Amino acid sequence: LTGVPREHRAFQYVLAHAIPGDPRHVLQTFDHWCYHCEHLSSVGPVKGEWHPIVERLLAERAPLRVLELGTYCGYGTVLLAGGLPPGAHLYTVEGDPQNATVAEKVIRLAGFHEGTVSLIVGPSAEVIPRLRDGHGLAQADFVFMDHAKRWYLRDLRLLESHRLLAPGATVVADNVLFPGAPHFLQYAKTCGRYRCRVHRASLEY
C-alpha cells in the first residue's frame, strides 16, 4: 500500500535494530524480520547445514578472491565476507539496481568497506566478461551462485571460457534441487571438470 518494496522495509528494520559493524547481529536482525514480518528469499539461518558448510569451506580453502552471483539484499554477502581470511576480497554481482541499493547499505552497515567487498551492478552475463579488465578479478578461488537458477549453467560456462576459475576453485550453488537447476547440475556431475557433491537442506525460514 505504501509503494515501498519489502526489501526496503526490511532494511529500515535492520537499520533501526541491528548493531552497526556487527555482521552476525545484522544477519540475526534480518532473520527476525523474515520470521515475524515478511519473507525474503535470503539464505537464512537454519537451511540444513548451510552456514556450517559455507563457513567450513571458507575456513578450509581460505580463498583470497571470492565471487558471488546474486547479491539480492546482501545477506549472503555479509555471511561470506565474515568468513574471509585477512587480505581477501569479495566481488558480488547484482542485476537489480533497487536490490543493489539495499545491499550496498546492508554491507556497509555490517562493517565491510570497499576494500573488502565490491558490489557490481548489472546482469551477470554482461559483468562476467568484464571482471578481469573492468574490476580487477583475475581469477576466483571461490564462487557462490544464488541468482536466477536458469543462468547457473550459462554463467559457469562464461567463467570457464574467460578463465576466471582458479585451479582447484570451489563453486557453491544454492537451490539446485528446488526450485532447481537441472542442466547445471547435470553438467557439473558429468563434464569431468568438477568433483560434485549435493547437500540436502530445508528452505529458508
Query: In this structure, what C-alpha cell is assigned to residue 181?
Result: 537447476
* Rounded percentage of the chain residues whose pLDDT exceeds 70: 94
Q: Is residue 49 over pLDDT 70?
A: no
pLDDT of 98-108, one tens digit each? 999 999 999 99
CB-neighbour burial class of residue 29 (10 A; exposed 0-12, middle 13-18, buried 19+)? buried
Query: In this structure, what C-alpha cell is assigned to residue 133?
Result: 579488465
Amino acid of residue 92? T
Domain count, the chain: 1
Do the domain assignments include residue 129? yes
Query: 84 to each of 21, 66, 89, 95, 202, how far by Cα in Å?
Result: 16, 9, 8, 24, 25
Active site residue 149: yes
Do the domain assignments include residue 12? no
User: Among 7, 31, 141, 175, which one carries the catalytic annotation?
Assistant: 175
User: Among 7, 47, 149, 155, which one carries the catalytic annotation?
Assistant: 149
CATH number where 54 lies:
3.40.50.150
Domain that holds residue 66: 46-191
Query: In this structure, what C-alpha cell is assigned to residue 113?
Result: 568497506
pLDDT, position 55: 82
Dihedral of the alpha carbons of 117, 121, 126, 129, in degrees to the nearest 10: -20
In the 3-class helix/strand/coil scheme, how is 177-193 assigned residue by residue?
Answer: HHHHCHHHHHHHHHCCC
Amino acid of residue 16? A
Active site residue 189: no
User: Among 31, 68, 104, 174, which one carries the catalytic annotation?
Assistant: 174
Q: Mean pLDDT throughout 12-17?
A: 95
Active site residue 146: yes
Do the domain assignments include residue 199? no
Whole-angstrom distance, CA of residue 86 vs CA of residue 9: 33
Query: 181 to each of 12, 50, 149, 173, 185, how far by Cα in Å?
Result: 33, 18, 5, 9, 6
Do the domain assignments include residue 134? yes
Whole-angstrom distance, CA of residue 204 vs CA of residue 25: 18
Neighbours of 78 (CB within 10 A): 24
Do the domain assignments include residue 35? no
Do the domain assignments include residue 29? no
User: Among 104, 146, 155, 189, which one carries the catalytic annotation?
Assistant: 146
Do the domain assignments include residue 141? yes
The pTM of the full predicted model, rounded to 2 decimals, is: 0.91
Do the domain assignments include residue 83? yes
Range scoring the smallest mean pLDDT among 10-14, 37-41, 100-104, 169-173: 37-41
Mean pLDDT, the chain, whole residue set: 91
pLDDT, position 1: 61
